[in-house]
Amino acid sequence: MFSKKVLLICGFLLVTGCAGRPQVELEIVRNEVAKAYVRGAKVLAPTDYDAASAALHDAENLVYRKRFGEAREVLNRALLHAAKATAVAEERAVELEKQYQADIKPKVIIVKKRVKPPIKKKVAVPKPQPEPVTPEIDFLNLVTVSVGETLFSLSSRRDIYGEPYLWPLIYKANRDQIKDPQQIYEGQVLTVPRDKSDQELNAARKEARESDLFPR
C-alpha cells in the first residue's frame, strides 16, 4: 500500500536519529500530513489521518520540551499513519470514480418477441445517477503557520480576518491539531472558517476578550 518513497523516508528518519533537534524530520512529516489532507484523507481516510495529525502534534510538543529521542519515535509513527491515509484516500477516490462511471453508463433493455415480424419497442434508458460526494479542498481556506506566529497574529492578518479577536474561530476549527491555543507551530496547515454569521463573530470576540491567553 505504501510507496517506495515513504519507506525510504521512514528509513531516513531512523538513520538520522541523533541527539539534536529533529527539525528535518519534523518538516518531512509535516509535508506528508499536509499531502494526506490535500488528497482528501480527512474525509476518505479519517482514522489514519487523525492518528497522523495527533502524533505530529505530540511530537511537536516533545520537541518543544527538548525530548528529542521520544519525538523521533512519535514522528515515525506519524509518518506511517500519514502515508497510509494518503494511500487509502487515493484508492477510495479511484473506487468512487469507477462507481460513478459505472452508474452513468446507459443500460439498454432488449425485448425479445416470438411474433414475426418483431414489434419495435422504445428502449428504456435510466436517468443518470447523481454524482457521488467527493471531498472538496478549498485552498483559500487554508493557511500555513510561519515562524513566531500565534492564533492572535494569524487572525489579525488582512488575508484572514483582519481582526485579532476572532482567533477562537481558527482554534475551534482545528481542535484536531491545536491542543493549547497558545501553542501553534511553524509549518502547521490550519483551516480558516469563512462565511460566519454576525452572531458567531460576536461570540468569538466576546470569548477572546474574556480570555487571558492573549493581550486585550
**What distance in Å separates the CA atoms of residue 153 and residue 161, rounded to the nearest whole number?**
10
- Residue 117, preceding bond cis, omega within 30 degrees? yes
Question: What confidence score (pLDDT) does residue 12 get?
Answer: 47
List Cβ neighbours of 149 (8 Å cut-off, separation of 6 or more): 184, 186
pTM: 0.44
Question: What confidence score (pLDDT) does residue 138 get?
Answer: 46
Question: What confidence score (pLDDT) does residue 196 get?
Answer: 86
Q: Residue 153: name the closest of 89, 143, 94, 79 by CA.
A: 143
**Residue ranges per domain, the chain?**
4-96, 139-210
Question: What confidence score (pLDDT) does residue 60 get?
Answer: 85
Question: What confidence score (pLDDT) does residue 129 get?
Answer: 66
Fold type of domain 139-210 = Membrane-bound Lytic Murein Transglycosylase D; Chain A (3.10.350)
Question: What confidence score (pLDDT) does residue 109 get?
Answer: 56
The whole-angstrom distance between residue 40's C-alpha and the CA centroid of its chain comes to: 6
- Kindly give the confidence (pLDDT) of every residue in the chain, 216 residues in length, as a single tens digit, with 9 standing for 90 and above: 555 545 445 554 444 445 688 889 889 998 998 888 888 888 888 899 899 889 888 988 888 888 888 989 999 999 999 999 899 988 888 888 888 788 775 555 565 656 666 666 666 666 666 655 444 444 458 889 988 899 899 899 988 998 889 999 999 999 898 988 888 988 889 999 988 899 999 999 999 888 877 766
